């Protein structure tokens, strides 16, 4: 605030004349200009809202005194105080008006005479005053509510008077500081703007927009019948602050002002604005704190003199782009801040939950849905702009009249046409009468509340004949007052909301769009990120199926979903599957997919799907009834969170065969805690869209990626208590054998972005194995459980009876060793890469051999695990003129005569004659590393040793393809299904003689004898399809029984033998 030199001199002069018999009053009010008479009068009356705001402020910091008096005012200016019984008359010595700040300086002399009786003449008016006085060092501040009754018209008018009375001489700046403080409170701003500047700003605004009015678009209430609009059209959503609607107007000199929705209040700021931004209007809200005024911008109306309204080339995204750009040129300070509201595009339902769940420094007042394909409108009414509020925040403004103790009448403005002219009248809010319905007979324009209910705007009980904002209590079936709307009360032409608006708001209160309904919808969109993540998940699952379910005879799939894994079953030659899911829709989709595959391939698969609530107590027995023999393996992919863990453990233990595996993929609770921390909600955005959303509540979680609920349709899902599940399974003889996060098991694809890594990093898999009930007996060192090394393929080097198995990590080695004797629990070992120092933490001797064909290296005293290394380069085709090369550094376990642990004490002279196959550098071109040596630009490096190609992408091939950095699935002759050797040859061998344990019997080794006849009998009886023809013939030959015929005949002949 700056007073010109003349104002300051007068103020200083008046202060200097204060003394006995002379009063100096500074009155705040407004000047009224009479155009006809061209005169200006001063009205000592301030705004009601300001009056009570200042009253509350002073009550908190100054001593006050309240008095009530009644004065009779006579024509000659004499006043008779009926309370004090005194007559007083003021003689004005001098007055001085400061129009720019609407204050009057008065210096006068007052004479007071005690008199019991008032003058005999008729008073002009009677003034009943309720005055609160606040003491200050050099005088007092008087705030008075005056009800003036004019005797000639018998009408009463209420005014709110504010005076600063100076009774002692003091420093001019002290008085000026109090005036400035009171004007700051009056303008509700840190800076005081003069009326001259205010009028100039309003004039510039009106010139820029070519309108005298506020041009900000007004939203309509979102009701249930408009919900479809939000997903049929492209929408955005932002939150609505509990603030005040304002424009930020930047004039041609790059100075910033806030203009209210009545184009009446102008607030000056000291924002530092870059000169490249001028003649600009931002639409937004003001939120106040005790120390700052924050402007939250949500749209651009005029940009550097260009009016954007109605222009189709400036849709929401373009306008927000300009808004963001302009905001970067506006520099906030400690008093004023400018920011752009957070918008979420397209999936506004998920966006609504994100916005309502995100903590803000301001109170939330609902949501605003803005069309993305419409320009800012030329008129204020914008049908596409929708406003949503929780029912408890919806309010109606009623003109309220107190009729009796606690009883109030509620009025609204109602417009009716009289001829061609609309007439607005005040009517009771009788909703049935106003709408012509009979639904709300109890809502007839009345309410009641306690006499001592306090109005927060005044700190006093609510007053009659005021506009009061009400909320509706559905439990009490009545309107409850919130606060007085003094801005509407002061306007004599306003009597609360219009009837149509009030009826719509009330309908929305009693029939609201609840948040849960809003969040339930979704907007379909191309889900690029989800598709890439799904492919990565399938790579992990492909590995698990290949490792644990290859050639499984009977597989149980829990929570089988929509059949996305059918191709994996086919690829891994799973013979039969029983799938269970609670969703009838999912089961129908499984059957549809299976029928299409069978029709396309002309093959019948033994895959059966059943609808079953797996949480039913009888679920386990129902599954067992359909397959009494039990299942070789059980899988549950991303579905365990649906199940009661006790029930799940019962199903698994009761239906899984001994030595069978239970394989599950799930969301890891510990990783989730790491991601979400102490927050309830974590989300990330990209280009105004929510990429992922994670919401955690006690014991439950919901993860949404690009609008897709990852865990399943519906509401929040249960977080899996893995430790509890592990305990429950362990109690039932099912033990954990492998557990890893997806991120630990395999590297993310290089094109994964941060969002996909965050979500994929939450997932893990675990594998359990059911304990085998073995009858205690003395066993040979080699047993039938050692027959099949099915983990991977061995590569025959065609020299010196050597072969190799490719490995990458210590866990790969454990998998192979556990095929002979299960003794290494991988969870007890961190994953490490195999290198020349590998084996220090094992209880068996391990040796690195740099040259696999140097047999001297195998001359060790005890049987040892040998490892070797081979580096080779693969040339790949590319789109450019030059070929690309990739170098691979592979590690292998060495086998001698298919034995894993061996030594060669006596060195035979190697055969120097090279075979026709060329084995001088056998490892340099191992079978499968460069299949058929055909250089293909489609080969990729993949950490997961699974065939190239994504099963869900329905590359319908049982053989698949291989990659250059993994051990390939070589279709050896022994893998071709025939009557003589259907499934018997283990993966990794080149012929039936290469089985390490069966060869042991041929060598007559004490440490590697073949199986006894009793053991073979037990194996054949339990696994007739897995026994090999050679095993049967060898056993029958030892027993002196005929060894010719088909495999089925050999099995039957062998089982007929009665063993002792």
Residue 93 exposed, middle or buried by CB count within 10 Å (0-12, 13-18, 19+): middle
Q: 521 or 739, which is more confident? A: 739
Q: In this structure, how many other beta carbons lie within 10 angstroms of the beta carbon of residue 915?
A: 11
Residue 949 has pLDDT above 50, yes or no: no
**CB 989 within 8 Å of CB 1007:** no
Cα–Cα distance between 427 and 431 in angstroms, integer? 11
Judged by average pLDDT, the poorest of 205-214, 263-272, 897-906 is: 897-906
Answer yes or no: are the C-beta atoms of 903 and 862 closer than 8 Å.
Answer: yes
**Beta pairing partners, 895:** 803
Least confident among 104-113, 380-389, 594-603, 811-820: 811-820
Residue 110 pLDDT > 80, yes or no? no
Dist. CA 871–CA 778, nearest whole Å: 45
Range ranked top by mean pLDDT from 96-100, 777-781, 894-898: 96-100
In 10 A of CB 902, how many CB atoms? 19
CA dihedral in degrees (780, 783, 786, 788; nearest 10)? 140
SS3 609: strand
Long-range contacts of 694-698 (CB under 8 A, 24+ apart): 695/353, 695/357, 696/672
pLDDT at 910 over 80: no
What's the rounded mean pLDDT across residues 158-183?
94
Residue 97: pLDDT above 90?
yes
pLDDT at 674: 80
Helices (H), 788-928: 810-818
Per-residue pLDDT, averaged over 654-677, amounts to: 89
Dihedral pair phi/psi, residue 1029, rounded to 5°: -65, -40
Give me the numbers of helices (H) and strands (E) for the chain, helices first please: 25, 49
**8 Å CB contact between 295 and 258:** yes
Assign 962 a pLDDT band (cuts: 50, 70, 90).
Answer: very low
Residue 569 is predicted with a pLDDT of: 95
H-type alpha helices, 658-809:
669-676, 722-731, 742-745, 754-760
Rounded distance between C-alpha atoms, residue 28 and residue 101, angstroms: 9
CA distances from 628 to 575, 631, 739, 950 (A): 17, 9, 29, 34
Average pLDDT over residues 599-627: 94
Q: How far is CA 877 from CA 72, 287, 728, 883, in A?
A: 107, 62, 53, 5
Q: How far is CA 639 from CA 557, 608, 644, 648, 866, in A?
A: 10, 18, 11, 11, 41
- Tell which residue, 275, 295, 286, 207, has the closest CA to residue 245: 286
What is the 3-state secondary structure of 918-960? CCCCHHHCCCCCCHHHCCCCCCCCCCCCCCECCHHHCCCCCCC
The length of the chain in residues reads 1060
With beta carbons less than 8 A apart as the criterion, state whether 1024 and 1053 touch.
Answer: no
193 vs 248: CA distance, rounded Å: 15
Contacts of 344 (CB under 8 A, 6+ apart): 236, 237, 238, 350, 351, 354, 355, 685, 688, 689, 690
Distance of CA 988 to the CA centre of its chain: 48
Model confidence band, residue 880 (pLDDT cutoffs 50, 70, 90):
low
Number of Cβ within 10 Å of residue 1042's Cβ equals 11
Between residues 762 and 462, the one the model is more confident about: 462
Segments of 437-542 assigned E as strands:
446-448, 454-455, 460-461, 466-473, 478-484
DSSP label of 571: H
Q: Residue 678: CB partners within 8 Å, gap ≥ 6? A: none
Cα–Cα nearest to 660, from 537, 787, 773, 792 = 773
> Token pair of 687, please?
């280009």
Q: Mutual orientation of helices 172-187 and 5-16 as an angle, nearest 10°? A: 120
Q: pLDDT band for 487, please (50, 70, 90 cuts).
A: confident
- The average confidence (pLDDT) of the chain is 81
DSSP-assigned beta bridge partners for residue 132: 66, 143
Q: Where are the beta strands (DSSP E) in 834-945?
A: 846-848, 865-876, 884-896
Contact 64, 58 (CB under 8 A): yes
Who contacts 447 (Cβ-Cβ below 8 Å, separation ≥6)? 408, 410, 470, 478, 479, 480
Tell me the per-residue pLDDT of 532-563, one tens digit each, with 9 for 90 and over.
777 888 888 999 999 999 999 999 999 999 99
The whole-angstrom separation of Cα 1012 and Cα 662 is 31
Between CA 189 and CA 192 the distance in angstroms is 7
- Do 966 and 791 form a contact (C-beta atoms < 8 A)? no
| pLDDT > 80? residue 234 | yes
Q: Specify the DSSP element, H or E, that contains 1043.
A: none
Domains of the chain: 5-187 (3.20.100.10), 195-389 (3.30.470.30), 392-514 (2.40.50), 528-770 (3.40.50.150), 794-968 (no CATH), 974-1060 (no CATH)
Q: What's the pTM? A: 0.62
Q: What is the largest CA-CA distance in the chain?
A: 150
CA distances to 318, 365, 432, 465, 470 from 478, rounded to whole Å, are 46, 22, 15, 19, 10
Instruction: Provide the pLDDT for residue 1000.
Output: 33
d(CA 612, CA 614): 6
Three-class SS state of 303: strand
Helix orientation angle between 1013-1022 and 1047-1055, rounded to the nearest 10 degrees: 120
Chain centre to alpha carbon of residue 1059: 67
First to last CA, the chain: 114
Residue 431: count other Cβ atoms within 10 Å of its Cβ.
21
Q: What is the mean pLDDT of residues 73-95?
A: 82
Q: Are 907 and 856 in contact (CB under 8 A)?
A: yes
Please report the pLDDT score of residue 407 as a whole number. Answer: 92
Q: Which of 513-527, 671-685, 800-814 has the highest mean pLDDT?
A: 800-814
In DSSP terms, which residues pair with 280 in a beta bridge?
250
Contact status, residue 307 vs residue 277, Cβ threshold 8 Å: no
Cβ pair 412, 497 in contact under 8 A: yes
| Least reliable range by pLDDT among 133-147, 511-525, 688-702, 781-795 | 781-795
pLDDT band at 521 (very low <50, low <70, confident <90, very high): low
Query: Which residues in 64-118 belong to E strands, given as ranges?
Result: 64-73, 79-81, 86-98, 103-114
């Amino acid at each position: 605030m700056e007073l010109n030199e003349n104002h300051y001199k007068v103020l200083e002069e008046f202060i200097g004349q204060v003394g006995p018999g002379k009063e100096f009053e500074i009155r705040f009010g407004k000047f009224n200009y009479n155009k006809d008479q061209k005169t200006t009068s001063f009205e000592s009356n301030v705004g009601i809202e300001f009056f009570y705001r200042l009253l509350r402020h002073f009550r908190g910091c100054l001593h006050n005194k309240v008095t009530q008096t009644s004065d009779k005012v006579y024509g000659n200016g004499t006043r008779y105080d009926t309370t004090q019984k005194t007559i007083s008359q003021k003689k004005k010595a001098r007055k001085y008006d400061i129009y720019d700040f609407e204050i009057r300086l008065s210096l006068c002399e007052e004479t007071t005479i005690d008199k019991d009786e008032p003058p005999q003449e008729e008073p002009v008016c009677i003034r009943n005053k309720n005055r609160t006085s606040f003491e200050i060092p050099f005088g007092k501040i008087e705030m008075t509510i005056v009800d003036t009754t004019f005797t000639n018209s018998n009408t009463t008018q209420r005014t709110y008077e504010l005076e600063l009375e100076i009774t002692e001489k003091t420093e001019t700046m002290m008085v000026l500081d109090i005036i400035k403080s009171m004007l700051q409170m009056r303008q509700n701003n840190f800076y005081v703007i003069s009326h001259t500047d205010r009028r100039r700003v309003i004039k510039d605004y009106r010139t820029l927009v070519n309108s005298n009015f506020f041009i900000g678009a007004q939203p309509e209430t979102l009701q249930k019948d408009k919900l479809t609009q939000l997903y049929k059209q492209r929408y955005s959503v932002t939150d609505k602050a509990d603030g005040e609607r304002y424009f930020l107007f930047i004039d041609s000199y790059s100075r910033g002002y806030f203009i209210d929705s009545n184009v009446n209040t102008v607030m000056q700021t000291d924002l530092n604005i870059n000169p490249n931004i001028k003649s600009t209007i931002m639409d937004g809200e003001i939120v106040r704190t005790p120390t700052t005024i924050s402007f939250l911008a949500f749209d651009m109306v005029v940009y550097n003199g260009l009016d954007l309204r109605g222009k189709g080339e400036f849709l929401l995204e373009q306008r927000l782009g300009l808004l963001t750009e302009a905001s970067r040129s506006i520099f906030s300070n400690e008093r004023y801040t400018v920011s752009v509201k957070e918008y979420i595009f397209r999936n506004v339902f998920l966006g609504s939950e994100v916005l309502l769940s995100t903590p803000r420094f301001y109170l939330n007042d609902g949501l605003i849905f803005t069309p993305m394909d419409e320009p800012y409108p030329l008129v204020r009414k914008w049908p596409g702009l929708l406003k949503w509020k929780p029912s408890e925040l919806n309010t109606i403004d009623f003109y309220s009249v107190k009729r009796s103790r606690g009883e109030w009448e509620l009025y609204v403005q109602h417009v009716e046409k009289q001829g061609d002219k609309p007439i607005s009248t005040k009517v009771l809010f009788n909703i049935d009468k106003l709408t012509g319905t009979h639904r709300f007979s109890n809502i007839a324009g009345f309410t009641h509340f306690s006499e001592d209910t306090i109005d927060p705007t005044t700190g006093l009980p609510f007053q009659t004949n005021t506009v009061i904002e009400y909320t509706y209590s559905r439990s009490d079936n009545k309107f409850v007052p919130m606060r007085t709307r003094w801005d509407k009360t002061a306007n004599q032409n306003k009597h609360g909301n219009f009837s149509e608006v009030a009826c719509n708001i009330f309908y929305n209160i009693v029939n609201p769009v609840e948040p849960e309904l809003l969040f339930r919808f979704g907007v379909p969109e191309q889900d690029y990120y989800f598709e890439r993540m799904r492919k990565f998940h399938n790579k992990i699952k492909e590995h698990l199926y290949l490792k644990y379910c290859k050639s499984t005879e009977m597989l149980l799939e829990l929570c089988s979903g929509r059949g996305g894994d059918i191709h994996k079953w086919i690829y891994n030659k799973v013979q039969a599957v029983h799938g269970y899911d609670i969703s009838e829709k999912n089961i129908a989709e499984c059957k549809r997919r299976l029928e299409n595959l069978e029709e396309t391939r002309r093959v019948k698969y033994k895959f059966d799907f059943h609808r079953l609530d797996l949480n039913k107590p009888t679920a386990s027995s129902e599954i067992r009834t359909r397959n009494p023999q039990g299942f070789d393996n059980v899988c549950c992919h991303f579905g365990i969170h649906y199940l009661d863990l006790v029930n799940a453990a019962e199903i698994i233990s009761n239906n899984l065969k001994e030595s069978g595996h239970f394989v599950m993929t799930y969301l890891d609770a510990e990783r989730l805690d790491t991601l979400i921390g102490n927050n309830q909600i974590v989300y990330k955005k990209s280009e105004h869209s929510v990429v992922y959303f994670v919401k955690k509540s006690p014991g439950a979680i919901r993860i949404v990626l690009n609008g897709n609920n990852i865990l399943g349709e519906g509401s929040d899902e249960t977080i899996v208590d893995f430790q509890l599940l592990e305990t429950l399974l362990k109690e039932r003889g099912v033990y954990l054998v492998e557990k890893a996060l997806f991120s630990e098991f395999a590297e993310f694809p290089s094109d994964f972005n941060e969002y996909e890594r965050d979500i994929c990093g939450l997932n893990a898999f675990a594998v359990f194995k059911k304990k085998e009930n073995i009858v205690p007996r003395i066993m040979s060192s080699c047993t039938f459980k050692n027959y099949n090394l099915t983990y991977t393929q061995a590569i025959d080097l065609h020299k010196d009876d050597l072969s190799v198995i490719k490995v990458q990590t210590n866990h790969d080695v454990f998998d192979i060793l556990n095929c002979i004797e299960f003794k290494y629990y991988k969870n007890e070992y961190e994953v490490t890469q195999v290198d020349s120092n590998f084996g220090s933490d094992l209880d068996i001797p391990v040796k690195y051999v740099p040259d696999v064909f140097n047999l001297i290296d195998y001359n060790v005293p005890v049987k040892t695990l040998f490892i070797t290394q081979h580096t080779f380069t693969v040339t790949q085709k590319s789109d450019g003129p030059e070929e690309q090369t990739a170098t691979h550094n592979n590690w292998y376990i060495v086998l001698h005569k298919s034995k894993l642990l061996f030594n060669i004490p006596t060195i035979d002279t190697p055969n120097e004659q090279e075979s026709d196959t060329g084995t001088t550098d056998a490892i340099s071109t191992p079978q499968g590393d460069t299949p058929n040596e055909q250089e293909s630009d489609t080969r990729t490096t993949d950490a997961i040793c699974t065939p190239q190609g994504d099963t869900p992408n329905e590359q319908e091939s049982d053989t698949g393809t291989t990659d250059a950095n993994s051990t390939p699935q070589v279709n050896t002759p022994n893998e071709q299904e025939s009557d003589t050797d259907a499934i018997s040859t283990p993966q990794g061998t080149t012929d039936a003689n290469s089985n390490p344990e069966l060869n042991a019997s041929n060598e007559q080794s004490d440490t590697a004898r073949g199986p006894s006849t009793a053991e073979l009998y037990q194996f054949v009886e339990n696994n007739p399809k897995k026994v090999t023809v050679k095993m049967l013939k060898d056993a029958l030959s030892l027993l002196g029984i005929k060894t010719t015929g088909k495999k089925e005949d050999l099995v039957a002949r062998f089982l007929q033998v009665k063993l002792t």
